[in-house]
Structures are given as C-alpha cells and as structure tokens.
Amino acid sequence: MPPVTTALIVANVAVFLLQSVAPGLVVPFALWPLATSSLGMGAAFAPWQLVTYAFLHGGLLHLAFNMFALYMFGSAIEHVFGTRRYVIYYFTAVVSAAITQLIVAMLAGAVYPTIGASGGVFGLLLAYGMYFPHNRVMLLFPPIPLPARVFVVLYAVLELFLGVTGSQEGVAHFAHLGGMIGGFALLHLWRTGIRRRPLR
C-alpha cells in the first residue's frame, strides 16, 4: 500500500483501539451540530471536529468496512494523485462531508454526533469512478460486478434515496454525498485551473 493510505488505516485502527479503553473520546471529537451549545460532558460543536470525527467509528464492522474501502480505492487514487494531492483531496472530502452533515442537522433540528471515515471514503470512491471508469467493482448484495462509474452513480442515487426517505436511520447519507460533492468540486478545480491569464 502507498504511505498515506497506510498511515490513514493505521491511525483509524489506533484511534478505534483507544476508543475501547477511553470511550469518552467520542464526546469531544465526534461531529456535533452547530446549534449544540451544551449537552453535558463537553458535547458541543468545535472546529477540530470537522476532521477528528473521521477517525472515530461506532463498531468493528463500521471500522472494517471503511478501512477496506479506503484500502481498495485509496491505494489506486494515491498512486494517481501522489502524496500531497492525495492528502489534500482526502481531507477536502472529509471536511465537505462534515459541512454537509452540519447543514442537514441544522435544517432537521437534529442533535446527535456523527462519526466515521465514510465521507472521505465516498470522495475516494468518486475519484476512482472518474479515473478508473471501466474497472469492475463487485456489489455485495447481490454479488454482481459493475463498471466503476456505474457503481458510483448507483451508490450516489441510493444514498440520496435513503437520505431523503430516512429509511435507514443512524447513517449519515447526506454526509456521504457531501464527501462526493467536495471531491468532485476539487477535481474540477484541478482540471480547469484557478489561474487565468490577465487581459492585455
């Protein structure tokens, strides 16, 4: 595995193990809604939570799924982007997912913490679909191989449906979409460039 993907997986696993002996870490480092002034025990929004929430997980399956996806898609994308751009891209997706979740929570009036690396992972999934559109990705249920770009579109539509209908509680579907949107915006910025020649 390339170095940044390896470091991210090691960091996530290390934090998960730390959570098992110090479960109180979730309170100050999970992502809390902006309107949360105080829920006791330090449960309130803080700027660092825009990043730290992505290193916390709600269980072994949650961690395993995200780390497998990070390994599967992140390794390929890190080879394409290189170390510096990969780090920028991953954390852009993480932060954009967090901002999306904060907006959704504010509109819904919801008060609950958000944790997990899924926002960054969904950003990597989008990039994988754009840079390796014809690579086959296997669905879990049912086990059908699909081209990566088709897989990405179907997953995005599914996340939007589940988020709008609220049929799968406890999952931040709009945060997943926010990670994809942030990743797409950054890729578009890199492709088009932000510098323009001055008129003469």
Per-residue pLDDT of the chain (200 residues; tens, 9 = 90+): 899 999 999 999 999 999 999 888 888 899 998 877 545 545 788 999 999 999 999 889 999 999 999 999 999 999 999 999 999 999 999 999 999 999 998 888 777 889 999 999 999 999 999 999 999 887 666 678 888 888 889 888 888 887 777 666 667 888 899 999 999 999 999 988 754 444 44
Neighbouring residues of 27: CB distance < 8 A, sequence distance ≥ 6: 41, 42, 43, 113
Query: Contact, 122 vs 176, CB < 8 A?
Result: yes
Q: 32-69 as b/e, with b when 16 or more CB fall inside 10 Å?
A: bbeeeeeeeeebbbeeebbebbbbbbbeeebbebbbeb
Angle at 47 between CA 8 and CA 119, to 5 degrees: 40
Q: Are 40 and 28 in contact (CB under 8 A)?
A: no
**pLDDT score for 199:** 41
Is the peptide bond between 142 and the residue preceding it cis, with omega within 30 degrees of 0? yes
> Do 19 and 25 form a contact (C-beta atoms < 8 A)?
yes
The predicted pLDDT at position 170 comes to 67
What pLDDT is stored for residue 181 in this prediction?
95
Write down how long the chain is.
Answer: 200
User: What gap in Å lies between CA 2 and CA 4, rounded to an integer?
Assistant: 6
pLDDT, residue 44, reads 84
User: Which H helix or E strand runs over 93?
Assistant: helix 83-108
Nearest alpha-carbon partner for 74 in 127, 116, 119 = 127
What domains appear along the chain, each with residue ranges and CATH number? 3-192 (1.20.1540.10)
CA distance 108 to 18: 32
Give residue 189's pLDDT.
92
Q: Which value, in Å, is the radius of gyration of the alpha carbons in the chain?
A: 17
CA 101 to chain centre: 11
Contact 4, 78 (CB under 8 A): yes
Q: Say how far apart CA 180 and CA 194 lie, in whole Å.
A: 20
The predicted structure's pLDDT at residue 200: 42
